[in-house]
Amino acid sequence: MHLTLGFSPCPNDTFIFDAMVNNKIDTNGIRFDTALEDVETLNKWALEGRLAITKLSFAVYLKVREQYRLLNSGSALGRGCGPLLIAKKPIAQEAVKDCTIAIPGEHTTANLLFSIAFPGAQRKEVMLFSDIENAVLEGRVDAGVIIHENRFTYQQKGLVKIIDLGEFWETTTGNPIPLGGIFIRKDVPAPVQQQVDALIHQSLQYAYGQYPQLSDYVKQHAQEMDEQVMRQHIDLYVNDFSLDLGTAGHAAVDRLMKAAV
């Protein structure tokens, strides 16, 4: 059986899926046709039901829940791992509503968390997450919501943090931050859905067994990131919730769904 599978080229996702898609574990006859894309592209594809299995921002869950279901393994959810709002110089939080803000996609959890914190901010410009730092530096926007490895590089470029949006979420709700999860189309037979969920869990366990060594697959897709930043990325976004969301993880996702309505 062949199944289409989409995830991002970021180290947390390639770390999780490496063993599964590169035949390092027994996949029991399932083969995966992979598409490595920015998560906002995957979000848009999910609205069309394009892939059988896909990484998605939890913010888009409400829009696809008739067609996809959330798997227990593979999620990015935790504490201290949320998006940041950054700028060239300090901006008072009450002034953010009047600023032009770069966001890494309309359907991203980062945009949802920003909207929860700043419901009055309407001047948004959508761009690829990796372009946001430069857009702020060049003055094309007043501030930007950054995710992924940019959390580790913005200070080196002289940018400053306005607010940690994940910290805002944790403080106001008490829940960990649900960023993205792995979803499977409901037309995939139920036994195969369960098998895929177990394979993701097994693939991550395999990766942990090799860590802190990084595979060529992770390094190949990390886009000029040095190995220290790759490990920081993995350490921040991959954790026990990635192995199994559990009760606390599902509760956090449900809380975000209520906030998104």
DSSP, collapsed to helix, strand or coil, labels residue 119 as: coil
Is 148 a known active-site residue? yes
55 is annotated as contributing to ligand binding: yes
User: Cα separation of 212 and 231, whole Å?
Assistant: 7
User: Could you write out the three-class secondary structure of the chain?
Assistant: CEEEEEECCCHHHHHHHHHHHCCCCCCCCCEEEEEECCHHHHHHHHHCCCCCEEEEEHHHHHHHCCCEEECCCCCEEECCCCCEEEECCCCCHHHHHHCCEEECCCCCHHHHHHHHHCCCCCCEEECCHHHHHHHHHCCCCCEEEECHHHHHCCHHHCCEEEEEHHHHHHHHHCCCEEEEEEEEECCCCHHHHHHHHHHHHHHHHHHHHHCCCCCHHHHHCCCCCCHHHHHHHHHHHCCHHHHCCHHHHHHHHHHHHHHHC
- Structure token digits, residue 188: 């995939």
User: Cα separation of 44 and 91, whole Å?
Assistant: 32
109 is annotated as contributing to ligand binding: yes
215 is annotated as contributing to ligand binding: no
Q: Which of 2, 107, 148, 233 is catalytic?
A: 148
219 is annotated as contributing to ligand binding: no
135 is annotated as contributing to ligand binding: no
Residue set of the binding site: 55-57, 109-110
- Which residues are part of a known binding site for substrate? 55-57, 109-110
Catalytic residues: 148
